[in-house]
Structure 1
């Protein structure tokens, strides 16, 4: 599979899993009425509507802010797909696909509901991580992939030298 096709597969798989999980939990269960659902001592499934961006930053209460965030997500997603089509490695394309798929998934929520549906809450003792969703996890994994790809040595563009003849 070529890098761009791998990236597109990651984008569509991320988007499908993200939207299916959100729609299934919110409309297909009684989570809203029975939360939290304990998955163990360190994880819960809960309902949080995030009107901001990552980690709840830049909370938007008005329609203008909401649509500005949707527009930023759309422009960023288009730019990521253009970059992905030019990606020379599978890792880079995969990372860009994960980020774009996550951004599109969260933008759909924001456009449809005015906020992003987050539902995974990790915690231990007094420590509490922010509540996130599959799109958020894909974005984080994609950023890790970008970092790893940037640490790889660049392919050599010089022709291999022939050993001297004796």
Structure 2
């Protein structure tokens, strides 16, 4: 049996699980970026250079930490880096997140609240980067020989997890799930 929000009056008023997941993802993402940008990747003695990229740390034969600054969207689309483009991306991303939060309020199952919380928390993490740094800090890089997967961060990973759960719900578990 799928546990629903209506099983407990505590969850009936607001998507507590989804909002809690969003806050946890946002905090974890910002901590991971602070550690990577400020403590690991920033070159010694460099204070004011916002977009440094020189350091690469090999972790596994197929994985490395590599600093990439994304002023665009996924896969660096719309990567002009202009103030108007960054502002536009922030506004569009905020509208999308508000819409997803509205959907979160409609979800009856706790796991769909959590899925949307992953998406919202990851999206907020990337918005914070755009506002504070003018670009999203990406640093997780997988590769295989000459093939390189786009560099990403914890926020991107959480957005991906949320979307996968959402798709599983929509296409696999939908008969057990209803929108209020």
Q: Same fold (TM over 0.5)?
A: yes
Matched, 1:16 2:27: yes
Matched, 1:154 2:175: yes
Matched-pair contact (CA < 8 Å) for 1:26–1:32: yes
Q: CA deviation at 1:126?
A: 1.5
Report the Cα distance in structure 1 between the residues aligned to 2:164 and 2:26, rounded to whole angstroms. Answer: 19
Correspondent of 2:42 among 32, 39, 58:
32
Cross-structure match for 2:100: 80
Q: CA deviation at 1:156?
A: 8.9
Structure 1 residues not aligned, in runs of 5+: 158-166
Matched, 1:45 2:65: yes
CA RMSD in angstroms, aligned pairs only: 1.9
Matched, 1:57 2:68: no
Matched position secondary structure for 2:42: helix
Report the Cα distance in structure 2 between the residues aligned to 1:115 and 1:148, rounded to whole angstroms. Answer: 31
Cross-structure match for 1:103: 123
Mark the structure with the bigger radius of gyration: 1
Q: CA deviation at 1:122?
A: 0.3
Query: Residues 35-94 of structure 1: CA distance to partner in whole angstroms, max 9, x if unpaired?
Result: 211111010001100011011111132111100101111111111111112211122111
Return structure 1 stretches of 4+ with deviation > 4 angstroms: none
Matched position secondary structure for 1:108: helix
Q: TM-score, normalised by structure 1?
A: 0.87
Q: TM-score, normalised by structure 2?
A: 0.81
Matched position secondary structure for 1:154: helix
Provide closer, same or farther for how the CA distance between residues 64 and 28 of structure 1 changes in structure 2, counting only shifts above 3 A. Answer: same
Matched-pair contact (CA < 8 Å) for 2:29–2:122: yes
Matched-pair contact (CA < 8 Å) for 1:32–1:47: no
Cross-structure match for 2:3: none
